[in-house]
């Protein structure tokens, strides 16, 4: 998907919501647990109930990997279902991969070609040759970690470089924005640190940012919009638990739809205020 198409979808749906498909089986109602593939059934219902309000879905791969080979099967089926029933959705594999070039090539092939995701999250620690193989795919996206939403983000991401006075995450943004461009590269910038989000935006004014941390992790949407929006929206804001596990009864999908609809309404207001729709 191109950034033009992504922006078009955002305007059409009046939403820059990404729903995190991080299914926690212990929170499934019995009616789902009793099916042959509970994770797939759960995802299907969540997607059907929320796709009107979301432009993107982001399965965190850990949740599938933790289930062994069966989990991968559920993931494959989920992707297939979204592609078939909800075309136009932007699909992000939240995998946080990154390895030597030879290995990253395999990951890129797996996630982009075989699974058919539009984007994958990548950790920057291993440098350019761990990232480049992902950038070689046309109309596919690398989403590089810059500032994450967790407490540990302060440990290394905020290291100040002697030579430049930049934070490490700023160095990551500067270097990586030379490896790719705003049509194949996004960055992760956590909602829990809005002032850092402003610093990210200052270095990469045109790139899309994937913003986790709204909802259960405590980030605030208006603050994210204030520091992160650009003239083509430039944001995908993710919410997982606060939508998909808002309710644990048989009405979980209905409630998820309501939650997503409320966030969409807030987003529509923000986009309107900025004259983006």
Beta partners for residue 243, in sequence order: none
Per the CB < 8 A criterion, the answer to whether 66 and 25 are in contact is no
Distances (CA, A) of 10 to 50, 58, 120, 174: 14, 16, 19, 27
Task: List, in order, residues 6 or more apart from 94 with CB less than 8 Å away.
Answer: 20, 58, 59, 60, 61, 121
Q: What kind and span of H or E run contains 199?
A: helix 194-203
Least distance in Å: CB of 199 to its own copies?
Answer: 17
Per the CB < 8 A criterion, the answer to whether 182 and 208 are in contact is yes
Compare residues 29 and 127 and give the one whose CB is closer to its own copies: 127
Which residue in 13, 84, 96, 272 is the catalytic one? 96
Residues that bind its own copies (CB under 8 A): 22, 60, 62-63, 65-73, 76, 96-101, 103-104, 106-107, 109-110, 114-115, 123-131, 145, 148-157, 159-163, 165, 168, 171-172, 175, 217
Compare residues 127 and 269 and give the one whose CB is closer to its own copies: 127
Task: List, in order, residues 6 or more apart from 255 with CB less than 8 Å away.
Answer: 246, 247
Instruction: Identify whether 96 is a catalytic site residue.
Output: yes
Torsion of CA 24, 27, 28, 34, to 10 degrees: 100
Per the CB < 8 A criterion, the answer to whether 227 and 190 are in contact is no
Least distance in Å: CB of 219 to its own copies?
Answer: 12
| 121 vs 243: CA distance, rounded Å | 21
Least distance in Å: CB of 152 to its own copies?
Answer: 2
Place of tokens 């949740």: 63
Compare residues 51 and 193 and give the one whose CB is closer to its own copies: 193
Least distance in Å: CB of 158 to its own copies?
Answer: 9
Compare residues 171 and 259 and give the one whose CB is closer to its own copies: 171
Least distance in Å: CB of 156 to its own copies?
Answer: 6
Compare residues 103 and 258 and give the one whose CB is closer to its own copies: 103
Ramachandran quadrant class, 155 (left: phi over 0; alpha: psi -120 to 50; beta: rest) = alpha
Least distance in Å: CB of 107 to its own copies?
Answer: 5
β-strand pairing of 235-239 with 185-189: unpaired
Compare residues 90 and 111 and give the one whose CB is closer to its own copies: 111
| 127 vs 95: CA distance, rounded Å | 17
Where in the sequence numbering do the catalytic residues fall?
A: 96
């Amino acid at each position: 998907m191109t950034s033009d198409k992504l922006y078009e979808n955002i305007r059409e749906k009046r939403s820059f919501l990404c729903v995190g498909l991080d299914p926690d089986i212990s929170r499934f109602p019995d009616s789902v647990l009793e099916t042959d593939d509970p994770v797939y059934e759960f995802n299907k219902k969540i997607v059907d109930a929320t796709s009107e309000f979301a432009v993107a879905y982001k399965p965190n791969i850990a949740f599938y990997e933790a289930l062994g080979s069966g989990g991968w099967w559920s993931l494959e089926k989920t992707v297939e279902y979204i592609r078939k029933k909800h075309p136009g959705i932007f699909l992000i594999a939240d995998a946080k991969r990154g390895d030597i070039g030879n290995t990253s090539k395999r990951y890129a092939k797996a996630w982009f070609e075989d699974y058919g995701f539009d984007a994958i999250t990548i950790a920057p620690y291993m440098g350019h040759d761990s990232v480049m193989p992902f950038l070689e795919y046309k109309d596919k996206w690398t989403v590089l970690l810059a500032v994450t939403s967790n407490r540990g983000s302060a440990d290394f991401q905020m290291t100040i470089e002697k030579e430049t006075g930049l934070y490490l995450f700023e160095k990551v943004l500067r270097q990586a924005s030379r490896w790719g461009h705003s049509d194949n590269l996004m960055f992760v910038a956590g909602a829990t640190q809005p002032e850092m989000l402003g610093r990210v935006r200052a270095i990469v004014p045109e790139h899309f940012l994937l913003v986790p941390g709204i909802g259960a992790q405590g980030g605030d949407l208006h603050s994210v919009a204030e520091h992160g929006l650009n003239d083509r929206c430039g944001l995908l804001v993710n919410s997982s638990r606060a939508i998909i596990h808002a309710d644990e009864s048989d009405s979980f999908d209905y409630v998820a739809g309501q939650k997503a609809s409320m966030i969409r309404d807030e987003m529509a207001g923000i986009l309107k205020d900025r004259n983006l729709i």
